[in-house]
Amino acid sequence: MALQSKHKVDTAFSMSSMTDIIFLLLIFFMLTSTFITPSGLPVNLPSSKSSNIVMQRVSVTITPDKRFYVNDRRVTRDLIEMELAKACRAKRG
């Protein structure tokens, strides 16, 4: 009595079908990525012009014990606004 089967199972794995699928996916993604256009609002960006920017250097310091200094000169809390205005005017010219 012969119990051997006539069909033998091949244990080798064929990669040809998988490479076909990978190439098809690659072609699909390459084609669809070119069709995607960025959507957004048109924006008018400012142009650069050379201008003279004058930096005003006025420093205000408040110490932990609540003393106020404008340009290293001690002022009272009531007069700080007036001293700031005077320092800004003096720096402006």
The whole-angstrom separation of Cα 57 and Cα 87 is 9
* Predicted pLDDT at 25: 94
Residue 92 pLDDT > 80, yes or no?
no
* Predicted pLDDT at 3: 67
* Predicted pLDDT at 42: 83
pTM confidence score: 0.39
The whole-angstrom separation of Cα 83 and Cα 74 is 10
The whole-angstrom separation of Cα 15 and Cα 22 is 11
pLDDT of 19-42, one tens digit each? 899 999 999 988 887 766 667 788
